Structure 1
Amino acid sequence: MKENYESWRERSENEILFSRVVKAGKRVYYLDVKSDRHNEYYISMTESKRIKDGNEGERPVFEKHKIFLYREDIIKFLSALTDAAQFVGDHRPLIDASLGERYDEATGTTTRDALSADFNVEF
């Protein structure tokens, strides 16, 4: 019985079906699609933050946080995330030359906004 458990645990922890990495300063975000023991897909989101740099004798130290998001919750989660991202974009536009333009009525200037694109997810 223990061998079966170890075999399942090994497979589930190591098998990443799809993955994306977002690097942001001292933080790295991993978005991995995995399969549970019932072959249901879920998203494992990991934030890895470097809290101590490594030197000659020591390895860097990371703090990790995980969120597991199952299929039945993805639409609700994306809707809430989109609303929150839009709020941030509306109140604190991000300026980046590679992103869409945004007009700021208060200053009368055009800026670039990372949140100008619409999300469209279908299942």
Structure 2
Amino acid sequence: MSDKDLIDQEEIYSKVLRAGRRTYFFDVRSTKAGDYYLTITESKKFTHEDGSFHYKKHKIYLYKEDFEGFRELTEEMMDYIIDAKGTEVISERHQKDFKKEEPNENTESSEGSFTDVSFDDI
């Protein structure tokens, strides 16, 4: 089955996580054979100097036979980071109230238009 065939399969269940300029889409989809798999898509907004913008998207296909190993390694990596660095967010890029110092970008209007992204745009 090609990647295009996978993309065209039925969407069963979806959740969205908005994280600043990034949005994560978690989608359960169905194959033609009726089995389920998970797609995780990261969409990041980039603003050009003229005020226009575009999105870069990265997608992971995760199948049931890989769930256990993926979950174990993800939890291990997150625990390692928390143990090493704690849970406090140090980078101001990840703080909700961070406003970029560039005069051409209005954070509130950019954020508003960013939240209008739908999975169909991907």
Taking structure 2 as the reference length, the TM-score comes to: 0.61
Q: Which residue in 1 is equivalent to 2:22?
A: 27
Which has the greater radius of gyration? 1
Q: Deviations over 1:72-112 (max 9, x none)?
A: 1011100000000100111111138xxxxxxxxxxxxxxxx
Which 5+ residue runs of structure 2 have no aligned equivalent?
90-122
> Larger RCO: Structure 1 or Structure 2 (Cα < 8 Å, ≥ 6 residues apart)?
2
Q: Answer yes or no: is 1:78 the counterpart of 2:61.
A: no
| Cα RMSD, aligned residues only | 2.4
Count of residues paired in the alignment: 85
Answer whether contact 2:23 2:43 (CA < 8 A) is retained.
yes
Q: Deviations over 1:41-80 (max 9, x none)?
A: 000000000122684xx4x200000000001101110000
Shift of 1:14: 6.3
Answer whether contact 2:28 2:37 (CA < 8 A) is retained.
yes
Percentage identity across aligned positions?
Answer: 31
Which 5+ residue runs of structure 1 have no aligned equivalent?
1-8, 97-123
